[in-house]
Amino acid sequence: MPFTPRGKHLVAGEWVAGPSTFRSEPASGEAYDYAVGTPQLIDQACKAAEEAFWTYGYSSRSERAAFLEAIADEIEARGEAITAIGTSESGLPAGRLEGERGRTTGQLRLFAEHIRQGDYLDKRHDPALPDREPAPRPDLRMIERPIGPVAVFGASNFPLAFSTAGGDTAAALAAGCPVVVKGHSAHPGTGEIVAEAIAAAIEKTGMPKSVFSLIQGGDRDVGAALVKHPLIKAVGFTGSLAGGRALFDLCAQRPEPIPFFGELGSVNPMFVLPGAAAARGETIGEGWAGSLTMGAGQFCTNPGIAVVEKGPEGGAFVAAAAEALKGVPAQCMLTDGIANAYRDGKSRFDGRNAVKPVLVNDAAGRNASPNLFETEASNYLQDRALGEEVFGPLGLVIRVADTDEMTTLAKGFEGQLTVTIHMDDSDTDLASKLMPVLERKAGRLLVNGFPTGVEVADSMVHGGPYPASTNFGATSVGTLSIRRFLRPVCYQNFPEVLLPEDLR
């Protein structure tokens, strides 16, 4: 059955209009009007979330697991309608939206199973030693407890997996924290139908209606009101470096500073070592072109930089990548604003000293075509602007004189989500030399692969040193992400009846 948006916010179980509206800008199909968020609505949602915490924060793991699974069921029940409005709004193909929906529901179910097992609570117990000399030891027990209401900002490039019921929301709900989502204006209809699924799951499982709210649209004042609200205890964000840094600073400047878990951007460098370049440089170049242009390059793990030695093997890699990129047609981007930002990013390379154009394309409107540039390591290290993320299918090849310069270049990179090594057996010594540098630069290291595609699993890390993320000790993907919204509490000499149920 087709989905017609209400165009309203969901606040504590009620669909609420606002004083004004904005019109969606779909890639195709019908546009709709949506209510614009306000600081007053933010205040209402946050106060409701705090009230819900007194119940939800003390619910059992099995109750929360059932809730997460119910959300997954309700999303799947709306699968065709979600795909229809998601493709209309984003321009993404149906197969991509269906895969992302499966990832979203799979993540919810993974988190449900994870919290049922209880290991994430990191329970510890030091029994009392009343006879210890020179002083007795009290009975000490520790467990992780939920922190309170969490704010989540929807991402532009993942209408499902990093938005309304995406990783941050799922992790917070799994931890026992109510959530207030600031929806992304690029896909408000997709956000609304997923919020409808969450509301249905709340009704089905008897959870507090105010455990989840969705506020649509609104200017920066609305986002600022959310992160500054005194009842919000943490923020999850996926987006631009500039926007994320502004919100991070607001979190730090609050009377009560709170953690800001922001994933802000990355160029995800790829090192092609000499043995691999000689043996299969052309194949790697072709694979890089495919990864670089997947989804019009609108992935946070897009490998925007490739590092390879000078010489014929490196040249063959570059030529193969350029040839493969020539065959990639213009692709629709998520929004007009993102398409314009891509063109602005490309303009930083046009005519720049010491940057050689290898393949240059222009595209109009909401479309983007691949571009490829080349420079030398010494130029890159002197011109930091070359290392800024360009969100789209743009690649930069950095040529190094030798393996020593490759190591020097590696030390010059900022924090990344991923770093990739392409190597053969003959490259083992060089790879071993690079490893101490690279593992300080990224949260995920790959060998002989491409970083686009983030597996949702216990061992996944999606985060890294700044500016890839604002908290290098956390991940926004995988079960470890739940711990972002917990804090350790120690109970000394407590009678069992007063302990949290999981410590009894």
The C-alpha angle 261, 216, 83, rounded to 5 degrees, equals 90
Exposure on the CB side of residue 487, measured as CA atoms within 13 A:
9
Are 211 and 173 in contact by the 8 Å Cβ rule? The answer is yes
Q: Is 263 a catalytic residue?
A: yes
**Residue 244, φ and ψ in degrees, nearest 5:** -65, -40
Q: Which residue type, as a one-letter code, is found at position 40? A: Q
Are 238 and 230 contacting, i.e. CB atoms less than 8 angstroms apart? no
Q: What residues are paired with 144 via a beta bridge?
A: 488
Give the integer Cα–Cα distance in Å for 191 and 38.
17
Catalytic-role residue among 74, 263, 376, 389 = 263
Q: Report residue 377: phi and psi, to 5°.
A: -60, -40
Helix axis angle, 94-117 to 79-90, nearest 10°:
120
269 near 407, Cβ under 8 Å? no
> Facing residues of 413 across strands?
none
Q: Which residues of 10-26 are buried (b: 16+ CB within 10 A; e: fewer)?
A: bbbbebbebeeebebeb
From the candidates 300, 374, 376, 389, give the one annotated as an active-site residue: 300
Q: Does the N-terminal peptide bond of residue 259 adopt cis geometry, omega within 30 degrees of 0?
A: no
Q: Provide the token pair at 106.
A: 């799979």
User: Known catalytic residues?
Assistant: 263, 300
